[in-house]
Amino acid sequence: MANAIIEFKSVTKQYDNDPPVLDDVSFEIERGKFYTLLGPSGCGKTTILRLIAGFTEASDGEIYFNNKITNHVPANKRQVNTVFQDYALFPHLNVFENVAFGLRIKKMKNAEIEQKVKEALSFVNLEGYENREIREMSGGQRQRVAIARAIVNEPEVILLDEPLSALDLKLRTEMQYELRELQRRLGITFIFVTHDQEEALAMSDEIFVINKGKIQQSGTPTDIYDEPINRFVADFIGESNIVTGKMVQDQLVEMVGKRFECVDGGFQSNEPVEIVIRPEDLEITTVERGKLQVKVDSQLFRGVHYEISSYDQDGNEWLVHSTKKAVVGEEIGLYFDPEAIHVMRFNETEEEFDKRLEAYTDGSGHGK
Ligand SMILES: Nc1ncnc2c1ncn2[C@@H]1O[C@H](COP(=O)(O)OP(=O)(O)OP(=O)(O)O)[C@@H](O)[C@H]1O
């Protein structure tokens, strides 16, 4: 792709005879966007960053940077800077010298260093902190020093490995806004690693959902939330109700012994499928009006909504997020729109999923 700054082509990373940590991974990173690698611990996120940074080499496959193969280019020759989880600041140097470090190595002139460090510190709102010691800085401020140290080198890509995980919730949310805003102002490509799905949804232009060394799904936050490709993605991104059923025909699915109108298609008739309905898409109603009949098992007040757990006659659990209160032990109805039903094929690859959606829809996500 013309605008791709980084491309992985069938990249595999394997240590000794262990199963591969990354298994035939291919993707493209476009210039100037905010990407997030999202997945559970050990899925291979950091390994992807290390391969991009040049801290480790691929066992197989090609890594391109600006359309040039870079597999063997040393880390210090890549247009990439990394912000680490623990920030890796130098405790014996002050803020100015921490940020200036890379420029000094490049033997840049003092006047130029001064100007660039000032600019970088102003970008992260730390003007006037030049002479502070690192130990005198708060967690959030250290975070900003680490980012200033990365941007001062004017890299084409900044890699951020769980940079917010050491911060408390409030500061973390503030830094999410700040980082997103900073990326927009700089226009540099950011590749951000997290295992926190809410963080990924809030911050990214594009998310790669990774599990067991494979990219399960890539797309915008809404794409991934609204059209999860499989059970793993549906479960990992937000809370989900997932049941098995069959696709009777396009736009008609069967689950819990009943047939429901839906908007999905491109399946074989009577194909076994998995069906996702998000808890916030279920509405509590009377047994008569409900499309599904369930018994309320438990209820928790979550501040903005009640989280209600209920069961249908087949023993499937249905989680509901509702501003209305339910009564534990009572039979109720659950109502939902056809659009709330997301149908997933078993073992569909992302390529097959995209092709099916393209063939079936006009690009709007709805049937032709
Ligand atoms: N040098 C190494 N030798 C052997 N195995 C390794 C090495 N480095 C990483 N691994 C393994 O590779 C797998 C993926 O690790 P990676 O750090 O990429 O995961 P991650 O998704 O970033 O996880 P986390 O969120 O816990 O940091 C893990 O099972 C890890 O044990």
Q: Does 43 sit in the ligand 1 pocket, CB within 6 Å?
A: yes
pLDDT of residue 319: 97
Q: How far apart are CA 342 and CA 159, in angstroms?
A: 33
CB distance 10 to 58 below 8 Å: no
Ligand 1 pocket: which of 13, 14, 21, 48 to mutate (most atoms within 8 A of CB): 21
Q: Which atom of ligand 1 is nearest to the CA of 16?
A: 4
Distance CA 12, CA 8 (A): 10
Q: Quote the strand ranges of 21-87, DSSP E.
A: 22-30, 34-38, 60-65, 68-69, 80-83
Residue 288 makes CB contacts below 8 A (sequence gap 6+) with 333
Judge whether 280 and 226 are in contact, CB under 8 Å.
Answer: no
The residue whose C-alpha atom lies closest to atom 31 belonging to ligand 1 is 42
> What percent of the chain stands above pLDDT 90?
76
Q: What is the pLDDT of residues 97-133, one digit of tens each?
A: 999 998 998 899 999 999 999 999 998 889 999 999 9
Minimum CA distance residue for ligand 1 atom 2: 15
pLDDT tens-digit map of 44-83: 999 999 999 999 999 999 999 999 999 999 998 898 998 8
Collect contacts of 329-332 with beta carbons under 8 A, ≥24 apart: 329/295, 329/296, 330/295, 330/296, 331/287, 331/293, 331/294, 331/295, 332/284, 332/285, 332/286, 332/287, 332/290, 332/293, 332/294, 332/295, 332/296
pLDDT band at 1 (very low <50, low <70, confident <90, very high): low
What's the ipTM?
A: 0.95
Q: What is the C-alpha separation between 192 and 207, in angstroms, rounded?
A: 9
* Cα-to-centroid distance, 143 and ligand 1 (Å): 23
Atom 17 of ligand 1, nearest CA residue = 46
Q: How far apart are CA 322 and CA 20, in angstroms?
A: 43
Q: What is the mean pLDDT of residues 23-36?
A: 96
Q: Per residue in 200-211, pLDDT tens? A: 999 999 999 999
Specify the residue with its C-alpha closest to ligand 1, atom 24.
41
Average pLDDT over residues 39-47: 94
Q: pLDDT tens digits, residue range 314-325?
A: 999 999 999 999
Tell me, using a 6 A CB cutoff, whether residue 41 lines ligand 1: yes
pLDDT at 310 over 90: yes
Computed over every residue of the chain, the mean pLDDT equals 92
pLDDT given at position 368: 47
Residue 366 has a pLDDT of: 53
Torsion angle of C-alpha atoms 237, 242, 246, 248, degrees rounded to 10: -70
Q: What percent of the chain has pLDDT over 70?
A: 98
Residue in the structure block whose two tokens are 């401020």: 141
Q: Please report the pLDDT score of residue 139 as a whole number.
A: 84
C-alpha dist (Å) from residue 83 to 149, 279, 319, 321: 8, 36, 38, 37
Closest atom of ligand 1 relative to the 213 alpha carbon: 14
- Across 77-91, 149-163, 242-256, 299-313, least confident range: 77-91
